[in-house]
């Protein structure tokens, strides 16, 4: 695991956008150079481990973002429905209301899968667990709650893909709007 620096972190938004849209194999160093405004040498200066180093930096940032989302959203005040609605709103923002794909799905494809599967799996699993925890605290059985967490992830990932393929972000928005009640049923 490469060392994280403030400079690296400052490139996360740009890198995230590239990897989520083009996937690992579709993002070349030239594309990154263009998007960040840095030459290749500078990119290697900041990310000595190259492309993999960049993806890891993005994943570390995502882990932090997820933690923050859990603390401020899911683990905050209110009943389950309120909390899940707060999460739903954050998700809408994070995916630009259905217009941006999920990097976790993108990294499950191609050569990225072999390299990053453990981290991606851990992130997604963590997200599911957090949703399940909210439902458990509201009185739901653990088994059922875990299933619901998975359902939530299926809805999120599935609606992002369908919205993207059909070029219709309202599908994602509609799905997110219904998700909280569905999980609490």
Partner DNA sequence: AACTTGATACCGAACGTTCGGTACACAGTT
Partner DNA sequence: AACTGTGTACCGAACGTTCGGTATCAAGTT
Q: Which residues contribute to the site for DNA (CB under 7 A)?
A: 5, 7, 27-31, 37-42, 44-46, 48, 50-52
Instruction: Give helix then strand counts, H and E, for the chain.
Output: 10, 0
Least spacing, CB of residue 124 vs DNA, in Å: 25
**C-beta separation of 92 from 156 below 8 A:** no
**What's the min distance (Å) between Cβ of 164 and a second copy?**
5
Distance (Å, rounded) from C-alpha 129 to C-alpha 59?
Answer: 18
Residue 98 burial by Cβ neighbours in a 10 Å radius (0-12, 13-18, 19+): buried
Under rule CB under 8 A, residue 131 binds a second copy: no
Sequence-separated (6 or more) residues with CB below 8 Å from residue 88 = 176, 177, 179, 180
| Residue 73 touches a second copy, criterion: CB under 8 A | no
> In this complex, which beta carbon is closest to DNA, that of residue 7 or of residue 166?
7
The binder of a second copy chosen from 2, 14, 17, 22 (CB under 8 A):
22
Rg (CA), the chain: 17
Q: Which is nearer to DNA, 13 or 48 (CB)?
A: 48
List the one residue from 16, 32, 136, 156 that touches a second copy (CB under 8 A): 156
Nearest distance in Å: CB 55, DNA: 11
Quick one: what does residue 109 bind among a second copy, DNA, none, with the CB cut-off 5 to 8 Å set by partner type?
A: a second copy
- Region binding a second copy by CB under 8 A among candidate stretches 34-42, 50-58, 71-79, 102-110: 102-110
With CB under 8 A as the contact rule, the residue among 21, 82, 133, 138 that binds a second copy is 21
CA separation for the pair 65, 121 (Å, rounded): 16
Per partner kind, with CB cut-offs from 5 to 8 A, the member of DNA, a second copy, none near residue 94 is none
Burial label, 44 (beta-carbon count in 10 A; 0-12, 13-18, 19+):
middle
Q: What angle do CA 143, 149, 151 make, to 5 degrees?
A: 105
């Amino acid at each position: 695991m490469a060392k994280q620096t403030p400079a690296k972190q400052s490139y996360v938004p740009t890198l995230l956008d590239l990897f989520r849209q083009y996937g690992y194999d579709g993002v070349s160093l030239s594309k990154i150079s263009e998007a960040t405004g840095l030459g290749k040498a500078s990119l290697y200066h900041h990310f000595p481990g190259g492309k993999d180093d960049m993806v890891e930096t993005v994943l570390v940032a995502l882990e932090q973002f997820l933690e923050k989302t859990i603390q401020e959203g899911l683990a905050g005040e209110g009943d389950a429905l309120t909390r899940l609605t707060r999460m739903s709103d954050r998700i809408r923002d994070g995916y630009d209301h259905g217009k941006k794909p999920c990097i976790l799905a993108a990294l499950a494809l191609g050569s990225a899968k072999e390299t990053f599967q453990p981290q991606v799996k851990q992130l997604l699993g963590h997200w599911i667990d957090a949703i399940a925890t909210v439902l458990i605290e509201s009185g739901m059985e653990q088994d059922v709650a875990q299933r619901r967490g998975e359902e939530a992830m299926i809805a999120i990932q599935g609606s992002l893909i369908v919205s993207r393929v059909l070029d219709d972000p309202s599908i994602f928005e509609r799905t997110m709007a219904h998700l909280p009640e569905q999980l609490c049923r």
